[in-house]
A and B are shown apart, each in its own frame.
Chain A
Amino acid sequence: MAITEDRPLALEAGAVTKVAARPLGALTRPQSDVGWASWFTTVDHKKIGIMYGVGSLFFFLFGGVEALMIRIQLAAPDGQFLSESLYNQVFTMHGVTMVFLVIMPMAAAFANYLLPLQVGARDVAFPRLNAFSFWCWLAGAIFLNTSWFLGGAPAGGWFAYAPNTSVTFAPGSGMDFYAIGLQIVGIASLVSAINLIVTVLNMRAPGMSLLKMPVLTWMLLVTQFLLLFAVPVITIALFLLTFDRSFGANFFNVEQGGSPLLWQHLFWIFGHPEVYILILPAFGIISEVIPTFSRKPIFGYPFMVGSGIAIGFMGWGVWAHHMFVSGVGEISVAAFSLSTMFIAVPTGVKILNWLATMWGGRLRFNTPMLFACGVIAMFTIGGLSGVTHAVAPSDTQQTDTYYIVAHFHYVIFGGSLLGMFSGFYFWWPKVFGYKLSEKWGKINFWLMLIGFNMTFGPMHVLGLQGMARRHQSYAKEDGFGFWNGIVSAGAFVIAFGTLAFLINIWLSARSAKRNPVEVGPDPWDARSLEWSTASPTPVHNFDVEPTVEFQDDWWHRKWGENEEGKIVRKAYPADIAQDGSATDVHLPSPSYWPLVLSLSLPVIGYSVIYTFWLMIPAGALFLAGFLGWALEPADDPEAAHGHADHGHDDDHDADASADAADEGASVG
């Protein structure tokens, strides 16, 4: 946490009593924040956000290839492209990848980069913990994918229903990679959630009450609370699975009285809040984009916030709608059917509010706005099919068919992913200092939108015609061939749309390098605090900590009302934005240890799968990372004189990381 001269020194409880500059004699903290190596030791939320973004896009390509493989297999009846075993692995990994390795880290990219900026802070509450979250996520993601080379990827579906996932029915290590890989990724999410919650509660700029925060910040906050409470549940489910598979427990041993429903309940108690975790960040993103490109404030800010909170609460009461046909019994089915119908309401509120924001606004259809409108339209369709699922009798028909596949792709792809792309285009100039090409942006958007609807629209029909999910092939007599052909073609259109995005990045970056154009702090005439500082964002975020008077405070500094109530320009961004020129702002120092500590986790994982002897190097890495973290000197020992505000980066993190890492450590 940095301080400048014009506000009182921020003192943690208790001054630093003794700062050991070189506790182990040899190890000092890295100091540099430039150069490629600095990315491995960075604790800067912006760099971490960028790494999450790059990682998620990389895995998006991975998951996309997996999708294309599925679609090649299913393009025509009796496909031979993928064997049954391989098909199961591919669709499992497609799901796991897209949920845990794409959408969640993509949201984390935006959360990490933007949340401190939007609340007017210089970083998150626990910068090293933040770095640890990222490396932990990456370690888990890679660990999970090494399964392809180590005997086969998990093949039990992303939902991994027991006892299908037991050693008897899923021999080999695939499901172990699933269970342990997701544990590791889960630790990243949980730790990050705590970090961001503390950041939002404790690090807001002066004047920024909770009800003056941007809608994106609110949606991200609700998301973090959902993560905070949902991740422990799947943690237990995954432990039970691992204990069954690796240590002979009987949790899903039906012969001994074990219950498959135990898995389903625990998984979906996590799984349903999880889908809100997937969508709320995107809702937040378009809640920033739409007002900007409608040149109107968000309609009904309190309702946007309230409905987000309502979704957060209500999302806990609907999970068994994923289990209508699993034999939970009529009363459960009726109860959850009812609760599921109600949860459409807060989302409906949001959709109405976005539309009302656009209504009467002076609309500009730049690429971010196109994607945002895409979200509204596509999510509405997905929401409508969702409502049909809520009606249990009709869901009985739809479940395990492609109708469900259509629904969740409309909401996740059409909602979450398109929302994230809106965010990419919107904040790209803030992050990188140049805009992405509008021309290629439109190509990207239309290819994606058309391809997406070609792919998932017909799936509604196929589902109602009875095409079952998770089947490697279908027979000619089934009559599914025509629509499946369209679906598969659509998938390749999406692929071209994705390619257009990558081309856009490459061309725009190249063009920016050759003909650098000063994009300015606020190219879109936007509303929140991140636009009040230079682009690309200075490493210290703000020269001077902003003070906040209004919601959409930045916008109010640029625009005011004259005597007739007409909106008139008060100031131009270039004149009032902070230019990033402050030089002596103190920032948290980089650190090796988050990376080291996170490396121990996959080694623990391999140890559980292969041999407990690996626990020795795992333990060594863990201990090294832990002790290194706890003992390393506070940020910049020279600057520690008189400044005692880095307390939060010191020993306490060791405790926190111990607790957080405990959940991974106790796997072994």
Chain B
Amino acid sequence: MTDTAVDAAVDAHDDHHPSDLFYLKIAAILALFTAFEVGTYFVEDSVPRWFLFLSLTVLMIIKFVMVAAYFMHLKYDTPWFRYLFIGGLVLAIGVYTIFFLAFDLFGLG
């Protein structure tokens, strides 16, 4: 039995079950961010586009990371899960960015 692996996993995993209050706080922050995002809709005409794009993208990423890290427990779990998920994510972003570039800038797009 790979006891070292078992021990490592126990240490990494054991104590970190966040309390319900913690989850509530995370959800509140997410809701706040979402409210802000929705707010951009109402000020669309008066705010420069680049700012809208930037803030929406940043918020989207933060929300994504928070749900993954806390609700999906990725922050506290074994790194294997992170590798699998982030691997897929990075690959998708990379491949589809190239795809989009091939269309947008250089192709018949």
**What residues of chain A have their CB less than 8 Å away from a CB belonging to chain B?**
7-8, 201, 206, 228-229, 233, 259, 261, 265, 269, 316-317, 320, 327-332
Contact = CB atoms under 8 A, between A and B. Distances in A.
Q: Return the 4 tightest CB-CB contacts between A and B, nearest first.
A: A329-B106, A332-B102, A331-B106, A329-B107
B22 to A, nearest CB: 23
A331 B98 CA distance: 12
Contacts of A331: 105-106
Given A206-B2, A316-B94, A316-B95, A201 B102 contact: no
A328 B1 contact: no
B109 A259 contact: yes
Interface in B46-94: 80, 87-88, 91-92, 94
Contact of B95 (A228, A261, A269, A328): A269
A332 B106 contact: yes
Contacts of B103: 259, 261, 265
Contacts of B2: 206
Given A259-B108, A316-B91, A327-B108, A8 B80 contact: no
B99 interface: yes
A332 B91 contact: no
Contacts of B87: 229
A327 B109 CA distance: 10
Contacts of B102: 265, 320, 328-329, 332
Contacts of A269: 95, 99
Contact of A201 (B80, B101, B107): B80
Contacts of A316: 91, 94-95
Nearest to A201: B80
Contacts of B94: 316
21 contacts: A7-B1, A229-B88, A259-B108, A261-B103, A261-B107, A261-B108, A265-B99, A265-B102, A265-B103, A269-B95, A316-B91, A316-B94, A317-B98, A320-B102, A327-B107, A328-B102, A329-B107, A331-B106, A332-B102, A332-B106, A332-B107
A328 B108 CA distance: 7
Contacts, number: 44
Nearest to A225: B87
A244 B58 CA distance: 35
A329 B103 CA distance: 9
Nearest to B109: A259
A220 B2 CA distance: 23
Contact of B1 (A8, A229, A317, A329): A8
B106 A229 contact: no
Interface string B1-21: 110000000000000000000
A253 to B, nearest CB: 15
Nearest to B98: A317
Contacts of B80: 201
A8 B108 CA distance: 63
Given A265-B99, A320-B102, 11 more contacts: A7-B1, A229-B91, A233-B95, A259-B108, A269-B99, A316-B91, A327-B107, A330-B106, A332-B101, A332-B102, A332-B107
Nearest to B2: A206
A7 B1 CA distance: 9
Contacts of B91: 229, 316
A265 B95 CA distance: 10
A328 B98 contact: no
Contacts of A320: 102
A265 B103 CA distance: 9
B1 A206 contact: yes
A7 B101 CA distance: 56
Contacts of A328: 102, 106-107
Nearest to A545: B1
A330 B107 CA distance: 9
A30 to B, nearest CB: 32
A659 to B, nearest CB: 14
A259 B80 CA distance: 39
Contacts of B105: 329, 331
A317 B92 CA distance: 12
A59 B62 CA distance: 50
Contacts of A8: 1
A42 B12 CA distance: 38
B87 to A, nearest CB: 8
A547 B80 CA distance: 24
A331 to B, nearest CB: 5
Contacts of B107: 261, 327-329, 332
Nearest to A329: B106
A454 B99 CA distance: 39
A329 B102 CA distance: 8
B7 to A, nearest CB: 15
A10 to B, nearest CB: 9
Nearest to A7: B1
Nearest to A260: B108
Contacts of B92: 229
Contacts of A233: 95
Contacts of B106: 328-332
Contacts of A265: 99, 102-103
Contacts of A206: 1-2
A229 B84 CA distance: 10
A328 B2 CA distance: 51
Contacts of A332: 101-102, 106-107
A327 B101 CA distance: 14
A317 B99 CA distance: 10
Contacts of A261: 103, 107-109
Nearest to B80: A201
Contacts of A228: 88
A327 B102 CA distance: 10
Contacts of A229: 87-88, 91-92
A431 to B, nearest CB: 30
Contacts of A259: 103, 108-109
Nearest to A339: B98
A158 B92 CA distance: 24
Nearest to B102: A332
B9 to A, nearest CB: 11
A269 B99 CA distance: 9
A617 B80 CA distance: 41
A342 to B, nearest CB: 15
A316 B95 CA distance: 7
A203 B94 CA distance: 31
Nearest to B101: A332
Contacts of A201: 80
A630 B44 CA distance: 50
A623 B81 CA distance: 31
A20 B58 CA distance: 50
A200 to B, nearest CB: 12
A545 to B, nearest CB: 10
B76 to A, nearest CB: 16
A261 B80 CA distance: 36
Contacts of A327: 107-108
A326 to B, nearest CB: 9
Nearest to B96: A269
